[in-house]
Amino acid sequence: MSPVLTLPTLRDRGYPSPAQFGETLTDWREELALQLETLGVPERIAQLRETCLATGGIWIDPPDGFRGYCEITVGGICVTGEDMAECAAAWIKAVLRVSRAAAEAEGAA
């Protein structure tokens, strides 16, 4: 599988490293979430895991063969779920909510 967004790809698109995100963090997360939405569940999980590990996030898998507590933290957004598919979907949903709230706040200012 070829990842949709890798760190070099993000840098090529003008995004700074995670330590330098600042104002672009919301944009970076939103672009990643929109890209992940277009993938099937296995690819979505693999891409999010790769991005998580490459950017210093937190990835907690349940024990093999079991459903249970899972956690993903990428770009400052932390979600939990029963399995990684649920976590990935929750992360995307949370990111898009944050993006909408940021856009509304910007429009109100």
Domain spans in the chain, listed from the N-terminal domain onward: 7-108
Q: How many CB atoms lie within 10 A of CB 52?
A: 17
pTM: 0.76
User: Which pLDDT band, with edges at 50, 70 and 90, does 1 fall under?
Assistant: very low
Give CA–CA dist 21/95, Å, rounded: 15
Q: Which of 6-10, 57-61, 101-105 has the lowest mean pLDDT?
A: 6-10
Query: Which tens digit of pLDDT belongs to each residue from 20-56?
Result: 655 678 888 999 999 999 999 999 999 999 999 988 8
pLDDT in tens, 81-91: 999 999 999 99
Range in 1-5, 86-90, 99-103 the model is least confident about: 1-5
